[in-house]
Structure 1
Amino acid sequence: MRLRWPSRFDGLDDRARARGRPPALRCRPTSGRSGRIVAEFETAAAREERAVSGWTRRGDREGTHGFGRRTLKIAAIGLVLVGILLTAFEFVLLQREFERSAQILSRVTAIHSAAPVVFSDAPAAQETLAALAVQPNLEAAAIFASDGSRLAAFTRDEQDAIADARAPAHADPWRRIVAIAPIVAGGRGVGTVVTRFGLSQLYTRIAAFAGMYVLAGFGTLAIGLPLWWRLRKQVVHAQERLTRLAHYDSTTGQLNRNAFNRDLARCVDTCAEGSRIGLMILDIDDFKDINDRFGHHTGDDLLNQFAARLGSIVRHTDRIYRLGGDEFAVLVQPIASLDDVAAVASRLFTPFRSPIVIDGHRLQASFSAGISLYPDDAGDLDTLVAHADAAMYHAKRRGKNMFQRFEPRMTESTLRRLRLQEDLREALHDGGSLEVAYQPQFGRDGRTIEGMEALLRWTHPELGRIAPSEFIPLAEDCGLVVPLGQWVLRTAVAQAARWHAAGHRRLRIAVNMSVRQMQDPGLLAQVDEALAHSGLRSSALEFEITENLLLEDAEANIRFMHALRERGIALAIDDFGKGYSSMSYLRRLPVTRLKIDMGFVHDIPGSGESITTAIIAMAHSLALTVVAEGVETAEQLTFLRRAGCDGLQGFLLCAPLSAHEASALLREPACEQDASACSSA
């Protein structure tokens, strides 16, 4: 019987051939070059980026070329190590497959050699071994009888012949595989088959596997590394952008509050004994008015140019920060005394002597600054900032456009300011300590009450009466002006409705309107709601607006004023003559009354007489009525009557009254004939 052997034997089954996928590439991230940063803060920004990213080595930032070389080296080493492990694993698998195949082949040969061995048929045994010649890995084979004699042998090299069934020659496990199978006949062993296979083909397969792995691995690396490199650069760029957004102001390009807190803490922590740190807090004067008048775009341009001018004058060791809004800080270091900080502060005002031109508008920007020193004025950074802030507010109260060194007495003023802001917010919420006072407006005769001006008053539960000149600016700073104005409007309209219901149908109620209120898109709806809820007719309501308000987004304000006039609401210009006065401009406005600024009235007798006379004449030529406020002397009253002023208001005639006192005054018959009745109210 002839046997049919496979055409080749390579020791690989289908599973073994399917093994061996190239490993996934893994790279450790490194850093890239920072983008463009503000020149005067380049060192600080580089330190911060190292602290945030953590992708540095020995304190030096790597460039993109260093990143590529390092990443390639790491990836190549990792690829080689993984390849060695995979190749070793594949070698073990293939070796086991070879051994198993050799055992199978030996057992099959032993089965077919039983008859030749039993009958000692050497030619038949030799023919059985000859069938193994088609196996390329077979080096030698032999059939031994039970007594150890060799019945048949096959070898490709006479020197490699198998001579002994018990001790095969050259049994090196790294070069050859020896398989021994017993020959069984009739249930007893009659001989042995010994086969020896070389492992050259195994190493050829391992070499092929390693080659494919290398090609696949480095091919993937060649394709993936540029993509990963590009992705890494994008990540680094995003990290740089996040770092910049976290520590730089997007409007001015200056360092922001986060960077300020960081740098100030570092300076305080590293301040050597005997050294000082100077801190200046700067606030642009009247920035809100400029922002509201010309729009936020102009305000942003102003902030940008303001920061640029500051940057052009400070020392290269000083740092500028935008803390938010119109507030800036300058960290002055090193300094030896207050004189060094004062010298820097004095120079800061120099570039602002000339106006800033934005979209054709010449804006005369100024600022107020507060200075505090560490450790002279404060032992920690929070107190240092608070004291500089207090000094800045003191500079504003002294007239603005100046700097002020911190003094201990300023702390009380700052604490009072902060307390009043919180208490005012609480007062608005509960309404218990706020009230509206009403000051009568008299006719030309000074006897007939034609209207009432609503004036906000605040009686603090602990501090007593707070002057409007103190709490109104506080309300503007903390954003309470609009809700306060809404509360005054509702309260005054409701009170006027009660007076009308009591029979005073011709009484007019005048309510002041701030710049912030006119910019409130819901103001018209609030006015309509207040009138509808109270039942007061619209013609009994008058809004007093300041003259300067008309210069801020004039066209929009004029449209808004026409919307009020269409509702029948009267409009008066308050403090006329104090700001922008123009007859041609007044012709465009739907106003019905002018109120002469009390400053001109106070100058009567004297320089105020000519100005007051001119205002009255101009108003009458435009068919407008005129009210003089701040009348405090008999001489002023006499002159205004003689000049033809249509209305009079002031402490000489009647001081502001509570709602109860005003109601009592209106009930007095004498109030229709003589203003002296106010003195008893």
Structure 2
Amino acid sequence: MARPDGTRLSPGELEDVLTKVAQEAAGAAPRAAASRFGALFSRSPIGMVLADQDGEIVEVNVAMTKFLGRPANDLRGREIADLGFAERDAETLRAGLAELATTGADHYRERIELAHSDGASVWAEVTLTYLPGDRPGSVFPMLMAVDENELHALQETFRRQSVGDPLTGLSNALSFHTKLEAAFGAGARDQVALIYLDIDGFRVINDGLGPGVADQVLRGVAGKLTNAFAAHDPLIARLSGDGFAVLLRGELTRGEVIGMVEAAMDELNEPIYLGEHGVGVSVSAGIVVQDVSVGGHEEIQRAAELALHRAKEAGRAQWMLFDPEADARDRARFRLGAELAGALENGQFKLHYFPVVRLDDHNDVAAVAARLRWHHPELGALSTRDFGPLAEATGLIPQLGKWVVSEVIATAARWREAFGSRAPGVSLPLPRRMAADPDLVRLVRTQLDRHDLPAEVLSLRTDSDTIVDEDGDLQESLAVLAELGAKPLLAVRGSADLELIARHALPVRQVVLGRTVVAPFAEDKPDAAAIRHLDHLMTRAAELNLRVGAAGIRSAEEAARLHEFGVLAGYGPFAGSATQDEIEEFLRNLLG
């Protein structure tokens, strides 16, 4: 049906027109109105039924028979409420008719399900109204139904998309967080367990086998998690690309929840077969179990994230239970991490210097080792052991490393100017990310050229872990730096580290024994294993024509014992340390 301007009426507008015409049929011009209503009733695209005063259906139009899949004779004689699919729908129709009768309203409109002939339901927006009869006070019920199936299906799709993950069928992050918050609402009791899980090395699957296989793996993991926790009425969600969460409620114990997680992890360890590929996955899990009266939804989420992070740090493929004491330590550590960038900007980082002396003559300074210290305004001087991993995690290592290289070379240039060729060389350690930085060679060369300093004064120390890091270009960088004249040093923990020099053709001529090697020689009588270890290491170093030094020497006696094995030089508490001003004064007194 169209308006005078040619546009079509909406279903709601058409219902209003039909109602008005039907009511006019009993008004001042009944014959003309009745004719108009009869035409509209029979031709209307909206399903319509008319009932007698007792509420039994007496007329059904063609649209209604098509909509419900029932012939008109099958509907006549039924009550209007019988059109409802379920009892709740029938009750809605009865309530609507009763409301019209008691309030005198023009119509009653509601969306309900009507019964279809195939036993299923159809969604409809129904409008109920009472038509005046030809006798005063008489009224006749009429129902009009607009097909809402497409709209309802669309709304259901939107609803599922808003609360569900389309790939796995689990809840999505938004829905999960809403329900987690509700679990801590008023009246909540007992315990809750929140489990965060991440697939270990998921990038390998995605990059190695393609996103299609990776999606199938995610669906497989979702199915296994659903099965593993099915007996405990869980809420399971996919929170991110390869991150999942499980929420359990009720009377729970930590041991019980840990048992569930371990069973789930065992199930997930079984390969997921996708065609010819048997894809094995492992997960890391962070677990929190607590009373709902302790904290809230934000606190438990943070706790689960921290527990998961600690599980991954511990080696992955394992679970970690949230530990409040570890959390307190992590908070302090993360606070330091957040302060790192500002500390560099505010000049809180300083270089400390350790004279590297000959072990047979402690007054003969062979070089000076530079080490970075963070002079924290509250915690005092912090070594790289305290803040290095945080600098690595926050991505500040390259920035710190460039600052250190620049400062060390500038300092070496001042010594060269002050003391000439007698000035000692300076060594500094290269953190892994700094060592692997492709701009390392350019940075060193630029700073040397800037200060007109020969590369021979600079020693750069790395370790075996960095050497074998496949993501870096350290081996090539060391070769170029050695060609410039710089001296690569290798920190070693055993003879296996020495083998890297020959295996990778490293331009290393000096090695430095780490504290784990030299510590046993702080005792008057080192144990036999330590002696064999050092003896074997020194023998192999001699075969490779390497000069050997040591770090972290605590006393003159320890230095003497190491010298007996052939260690030439070293540094540590026995030789002292100094700030930049102090080391320059020390050198001035030593070199004149």
Normalising by the smaller structure, the TM-score range is 0.5 to 0.7
Asked if structure 1 preserves the Cα contact closer than 8 Å seen for 2:308 and 2:319, the reply is yes
Alignment counterpart, residue 251 of structure 2, candidates 323, 336, 349? 336
Distance 1:295 1:573 in 2: 35
Partner of 1:517: 434
Asked if structure 2 preserves the Cα contact closer than 8 Å seen for 1:626 and 1:646, the reply is yes
Alignment counterpart, residue 262 of structure 1, candidates 165, 171, 175? 175
Asked if structure 1 preserves the Cα contact closer than 8 Å seen for 2:367 and 2:426, the reply is yes
Residue 454 of structure 1: how far off its partner (Å): 1.7
Alignment counterpart, residue 561 of structure 1, candidates 478, 482, 486? 478
Partner of 2:380: 464
Distance 2:377 2:259 in 1: 44
Residue 492 of structure 1: how far off its partner (Å): 1.4
2:475 counterpart letter in structure 1: I
Give the secondary-structure state (helix, strand or coil) at the position aligned to 2:578: coil
Residue 397 of structure 1: how far off its partner (Å): 8.3
Unmatched runs of 5 consecutive residues or more in structure 1: 1-20, 28-56, 60-65, 71-228, 230-234, 357-362, 673-681
Give the secondary-structure state (helix, strand or coil) at the position aligned to 1:632: coil
RMSD: 4.9
Q: Given the superposition, is the C-alpha separation of residues 528 and 643 from structure 1 closer, same or farther in structure 2, using an over 3 Å criterion?
A: same
Give the secondary-structure state (helix, strand or coil) at the position aligned to 2:414: helix
Q: Given the superposition, is the C-alpha separation of residues 494 and 354 from structure 1 closer, same or farther in structure 2, using an over 3 Å criterion?
A: farther
Greater shift in the superposed pair: 269-278 or 435-444: 269-278
Residue 483 of structure 1: how far off its partner (Å): 1.0
Describe how 1:232-631 pairs up with structure 2 within 5 A: 259-270=172-183, 273-281=188-196, 297=207, 312=224, 314-316=228-230, 317=234, 319=236, 321=238, 328=243, 330-337=245-252, 338-347=254-263, 350=266, 367=284, 369-373=286-290, 375-378=292-295, 380-392=296-308, 403-410=319-326, 412-431=328-347, 433-447=348-362, 448-503=364-419, 505=421, 506-553=423-470, 556-577=473-494, 582=499, 585-586=502-503, 588-604=505-521, 605-606=526-527, 607-631=529-553
Distance 1:369 1:456 in 2: 35
Alignment counterpart, residue 637 of structure 1, candidates 551, 559, 568? 559
Partner of 1:653: 575
1:658 counterpart letter in structure 2: T
Distance 1:621 1:539 in 2: 25
Greater shift in the superposed pair: 307-316 or 341-350: 307-316
Partner of 2:126: none
Q: Given the superposition, is the C-alpha separation of residues 647 and 406 from structure 1 closer, same or farther in structure 2, using an over 3 Å criterion?
A: same
How many residues of Structure 1 are paired with residues of Structure 2 in the alignment? 433
Asked if structure 2 preserves the Cα contact closer than 8 Å seen for 1:587 and 1:622, the reply is no
1:438 counterpart letter in structure 2: Y
Asked if structure 2 preserves the Cα contact closer than 8 Å seen for 1:311 and 1:320, the reply is no
Distance 2:366 2:564 in 1: 19
Describe how 1:100-249 pairs up with structure 2 within 5 A: none
Partner of 1:18: none
Q: Given the superposition, is the C-alpha separation of residues 351 and 464 from structure 1 closer, same or farther in structure 2, using an over 3 Å criterion?
A: farther
Q: Given the superposition, is the C-alpha separation of residues 621 and 418 from structure 1 closer, same or farther in structure 2, using an over 3 Å criterion?
A: same
Q: Given the superposition, is the C-alpha separation of residues 332 and 240 from structure 1 closer, same or farther in structure 2, using an over 3 Å criterion?
A: closer
Asked if structure 2 preserves the Cα contact closer than 8 Å seen for 1:443 and 1:648, the reply is yes
1:657 counterpart letter in structure 2: A
Distance 2:337 2:432 in 1: 20
Alignment partner of 1:663 is 2:584: yes
Per-residue displacement from partner, 1:237-286 (whole Å, max 9, x unpaired)?
Answer: x9999989x9589xxx7989xx335303213315673243322345799x
Give the secondary-structure state (helix, strand or coil) at the position aligned to 1:664: helix
Residue 576 of structure 1: how far off its partner (Å): 3.8
Asked if structure 2 preserves the Cα contact closer than 8 Å seen for 1:509 and 1:542, the reply is yes
Residue 341 of structure 1: how far off its partner (Å): 2.3
1:265 counterpart letter in structure 2: T
Q: Given the superposition, is the C-alpha separation of residues 561 and 638 from structure 1 closer, same or farther in structure 2, using an over 3 Å criterion?
A: same
Asked if structure 2 preserves the Cα contact closer than 8 Å seen for 1:391 and 1:410, the reply is no
2:191 counterpart letter in structure 1: R
Distance 2:361 2:269 in 1: 48
Asked if structure 2 preserves the Cα contact closer than 8 Å seen for 1:279 and 1:329, the reply is no
Distance 2:271 2:572 in 1: 39
Q: Given the superposition, is the C-alpha separation of residues 321 and 521 from structure 1 closer, same or farther in structure 2, using an over 3 Å criterion?
A: farther
Residue 336 of structure 1: how far off its partner (Å): 2.3
Partner of 1:134: none
Distance 2:250 2:318 in 1: 21
Asked if structure 2 preserves the Cα contact closer than 8 Å seen for 1:355 and 1:365, the reply is no
Asked if structure 1 preserves the Cα contact closer than 8 Å seen for 2:510 and 2:549, the reply is yes
Distance 2:269 2:553 in 1: 39
Q: Given the superposition, is the C-alpha separation of residues 333 and 512 from structure 1 closer, same or farther in structure 2, using an over 3 Å criterion?
A: same
Q: Given the superposition, is the C-alpha separation of residues 310 and 647 from structure 1 closer, same or farther in structure 2, using an over 3 Å criterion?
A: farther
Give the secondary-structure state (helix, strand or coil) at the position aligned to 1:602: helix
1:437 counterpart letter in structure 2: H
Give the secondary-structure state (helix, strand or coil) at the position aligned to 2:357: strand
Partner of 1:36: none
Per-residue displacement from partner, 1:171-193 (whole Å, max 9, x unpaired)?
Answer: xxxxxxxxxxxxxxxxxxxxxxx
* Structure whose CA Rg is larger: 1
Asked if structure 1 preserves the Cα contact closer than 8 Å seen for 2:458 and 2:486, the reply is yes
Asked if structure 2 preserves the Cα contact closer than 8 Å seen for 1:616 and 1:643, the reply is yes
Distance 2:411 2:533 in 1: 36
TM-score, L = length of structure 1 = 0.53
Distance 2:578 2:198 in 1: 38
Asked if structure 2 preserves the Cα contact closer than 8 Å seen for 1:513 and 1:545, the reply is yes
Residue 303 of structure 1: how far off its partner (Å): 9.9
Distance 1:308 1:480 in 2: 38
